[in-house]
Amino acid sequence: MPEETRGIRGGAGDVLLMVGTTKGAFLFRSSGSGAWEVDGPHFPGEEVYAMALDARSGAPTLWAAPGNAFFGTTLRRSDDLGATWSGKDERPVKFPEGSELALKRIWQIRPGRDDERQRMYLGVEPSCLFESTDGGDSWAPVPGFLNHEHRQYWQPGNGGLCMHTILPDPGSHDRVLVAFSTGGVYRSDDGGASWRPRNVGVRAEFLPDKHPEFGQCVHKVVHHPSRPERLFLQNHWGLYRSDDWGDQWTDVANGVPSDFGFAMAMHPHDPDTVYIVPLESDGFRCTPEAKLRVYRTRNAGASWEPLTEGLPQEGAYETVLRDALDTAPTAGGGVYFGTRSGKVYASGDGGDSWSLASDGLPPVVCLKAAALP
């Protein structure tokens, strides 16, 4: 096994990519020159489906959720950009006795609102929302979600019954929206005490009833903090927008080669701009026509355009998973993604052009981008 490495040294404004793979995590840093410093693997041999940078305090804290099928998954923290990781012997994320549930995987690490610096969220498998109110030292499932009456009906797909989206309302401490596969979108308007499905208009191709109240296989939901009520959703077949926090969804698959896909990311500055990577079908799950194309809308889904400059346009049978596309608030708009074939692509101009940041990594299952404070 390779040795765990010593972390990165970054300056304010540098772009940090946290790349989780099936065989460990890698940290990429760039000061904007186009060159990348790569550090890793961290947690060699372990799958890392969730990573995050929490910079709310002004000092960067890295979070990662390494695990494997033998010994389970846990949460690790670094306060020195990966030089050291705490929590090796700790298992702070557990379902309570009596719940008859056991943690399989952590899919999402989400720092809370800016004005709640001690609050953090996790989305886990089997689908549940965990919460910490002490900066990540201790965790507990949100009872209203843990004990939801629909739980017995939620079904896993091949990727598991995973909660992959957590969107706290920046303007209300009471509202949080989550999404998971399968189950769909649920929203709480009372601080997590109760949760209602919000899937009207979202179809479920794999059920006899194509428009059930819940049970949809939603792959990702994003929004922009400046306009939090407007949501964009990549479904297991279907591309949607909601203008009212998910009360109603409208199809916006206007000009995409397929409305199937996993990944979706919001532009860091522009609330009308969203990125996706369409895949040919749920059977093939590779880029259509063997062309690696990111699609961008700049008008909130009214139309989508392919972004191809610097991306391979022949022989590219690529897959980009739900958490492997992200953006960072650089001046030009940084957009980044990783593929199951172990490539990482970067764009510093909002997706107009791309370059290969790395090739030959293990399969990329998550990529989170941030600007260092």
Partner 1 sequence: MSVTVVLPSQLRELAGGRTSVALDGRPGTVGEALEALRAAAPGVYDRIVTERRELRPHINVFVGREDIRWSGGLGTPLGEGSEVVILPAVSGG
CA distance 214 to 182: 8
CA-CA distance, 24 to 282, in Å (whole number)?
27
**Farthest CA pair distance, the chain:** 54
**Residue 143 has what DSSP assignment?**
H
Alpha carbons 46 and 74: distance in angstroms, whole number? 11
Which is closer to partner 1, CB of 36 or CB of 262?
262
- For partner 1, the closer CB: 81 or 277: 277
Tell me the closest approach of the beta carbon of residue 342 to partner 1, in angstroms: 15
Of residues 63 and 262, the one with the C-beta less far from partner 1? 262
- Indicate the residue among 266 and 277 with the shorter CB distance to partner 1: 277
CB of residue 350 to partner 1, shortest distance in Å: 26
Q: How far is the CB of 150 from partner 1 (least distance, A)?
A: 12
Q: Is 198 exposed, middle or buried (0-12, 13-18, 19+ CB in 10 A)?
A: buried
CB of 213 to partner 1, least distance (A): 12
Which residues form the interface with partner 1 (CB under 8 A)?
Answer: 153, 155-160, 162, 181-182, 206-209, 217, 219, 236, 262, 282-283, 285, 319, 321-322
CB of residue 262 vs partner 1: minimum separation in angstroms?
A: 5
- Three-state secondary structure along 42-87? ECCCCEEEEEEEECCCCCCEEEEEEEECCCEECCEEECCCCCCCEC
| Between 224 and 343, CB nearer to partner 1 | 343
Q: How far is the CB of 212 from partner 1 (least distance, A)?
A: 9
CB of 261 to partner 1, least distance (A): 10
User: Burial code of 4-38, b = ≥16 C-beta within 10 A, e = fewer?
Assistant: bbebbebeeebbbbbbbbbbbbbbbbbeeeeebeb
Asked whether the beta carbons of 36 and 69 are under 8 A apart, the reply is: no
Nearer to partner 1, 58 or 283 (CB): 283
**Closer to partner 1 by Cβ: residue 14 or 47:** 47
